[in-house]
Amino acid sequence: MSSSIETRSIDYVPLSERHGKLWHLWPVWFSGDAHLATLAVGILGMSLGGNLLWTALAVILGNLLGTFFMAFHSTQGPQLGLPQMIQSRPQFGYIGALLVWAVALIAYIGFNAFNQVLAAQTLHQLSPAVPAGSPAVMTGFALLALCLAVVGYDTIHVAQRWFAYLMIALLTVFSVGAVVLLKIPAQQWDPAGFRAIPFIAALFAAASYQLSWSIYVSDYSRYLPRNVSVRGSFWWTYLGAVIGGTWMMLVGTVAAAAAPKLDVAAAMQRAADSIVPGLGPVLLTGALLGLVTISALNFYGASLTILSVADTCKPLQCTARKRVASLLAAAVISTTLALNASGDFVRGFEKLLAVLLYLFTPWTAINLVDFFLVRKGHYSIREIFNPRGMYGRWNWRGLLAYGVGFIAMIPFFSVEGLYQGMAARALGGADLAMLVGLPAAALVYLLACRSINIEAERLQAAAADVGLEPDDGVSGP
């Protein structure tokens, strides 16, 4: 394989290979949100009957909430030098971590299948001669994203930086023009138009969307030097994702308010063209490019997860060839799903976001509590990859906390056309599951970990990693 293709995957990144700057995290996560799929999240509240004023407020609050938890995961990458999902082994066990990896694969593959459907719809909007469900477009789109993912980490970072500059310029023109020129019906600004269900749905859809990044956020910080500040890692990630996500979702909200009967791509194009003639296709094209880069991130994360699963079945030596094989597998699965997707994109996307919120919430709580409160960043890199190591094959603490957190949320589940729990029905359909699952999983895990001898484990981890880094003799934060 060419030396330009990244070789490392789930393995530890030595200090000698660390590089990059903290501010590089900002464009990665700004661009990670500045694309068409994010636009669809901003439309959800409007599609359920909310008005522009309250949907916009819900979008802002949801981004602030969901990104708070997501950004803390980013700080783990430089300290451990590992991708996000492999870090779940100390909490769930060598084999038990397969549970959360299955959840991660649902996210990666599901998002990319929707991205491929949305790409075809967008090209149809730009050129009506292209069928809205074109198999050739969906397949070609996947191949473009796959090529970027194959080259790997550094190229993805560069692509995200250049795309961030482009989208900042385009979104600025749109936003200034929307304030000055776009005509929005007066009822869209009416404070009396508050409706609880659309507001809560929009808030938690935005929170879920940002929380879903948690499963791979440290994948893009793991090459940074180990001594970068935790505070800096958090804020560069948080601000990038909050600004990119909020801005793009609000564009979707405004577009839906101006043209409520059109689909995602058509609504944005009409709104942009009404501001500056010809801006619509340019903005759509930019957002479509962003969909390519974020799909590359999804393929990259899916590859790491597939390799983690393979490593659990049989310890493997990481190579570029294995990376490429796992990427191809992810692309084939997502393309198959995209080609068989239904036409109701926005409603399908809403259901995916809800399911992801339920699945990610307990894991996020457990992973962050373990890293910041229980083990405080002290892990053995070698033991994470040891099938019979100190973290065990099954960790009952993480599995119990995950199960309790998930079960506690069930009465609060509310997914239209899928399931509605008793508490959600009593609340008129409001979905507060995230607010219940986070503290429930965190509390159970904290209580379960009281039986761990943390000091003895820390000494054991340090002894296991002697010589991992030749310069300092012992690895670890």
3-state secondary structure of 131: coil
Domain count, the chain: 1
Spatial CB neighbours of 103, under 8 Å, sequence gap ≥ 6: 215, 359, 360, 363
pLDDT of residue 395: 95
Domain assignment present for residue 353? The answer is yes
pLDDT of residue 477: 38
Tell me what the mean pLDDT of segment 281-285 comes to: 91
Domain assignment present for residue 472? The answer is no
* CA–CA separation, 210 and 63 (whole Å): 6
Domain assignment present for residue 208? The answer is yes
C-alpha distances out from residue 46 to 33, 255, 330, Å: 19, 10, 33
Domain residues for the domain of 85 are 17-357
Residue 476 binned pLDDT confidence (cut-offs 50, 70, 90): very low
Q: pLDDT: is 296 or 2 the higher one?
A: 296
Amino acid identity at 164: A
Domain assignment present for residue 304? The answer is yes
Phi-psi region of 317 (alpha: psi -120 to 50; beta: other; left: phi over 0): beta
Tell me what the mean pLDDT of segment 49-60 comes to: 92
Domain assignment present for residue 32? The answer is yes
CB 290 within 8 A of CB 119: no
Token pair of 54 as six digits = 């309250």
pLDDT tens digits along 329-349: 999 999 998 888 766 655 666
* CA–CA separation, 244 and 113 (whole Å): 22
pLDDT of residue 259: 77
Tell me what the mean pLDDT of segment 166-178 comes to: 92
Token pair of 79 as six digits = 């300290």
Domain assignment present for residue 53? The answer is yes
Cα angle, residue 142 at apex, residues 137 and 144 outer, rounded to 5°: 95
In the predicted structure, residue 220 carries a pLDDT above the cut 60? yes
CB 9 within 8 A of CB 307: yes
* CA–CA separation, 254 and 182 (whole Å): 9
- The enclosing domain of 211 has a CATH number of 1.10.4160.10
Domain assignment present for residue 376? The answer is no
Residue 475 binned pLDDT confidence (cut-offs 50, 70, 90): very low
CB 359 within 8 A of CB 444: no
Tell me what the mean pLDDT of segment 198-219 comes to: 88
If you count them, how many residues does the chain have?
477
Phi-psi region of 377 (alpha: psi -120 to 50; beta: other; left: phi over 0): left
Domain assignment present for residue 190? The answer is yes
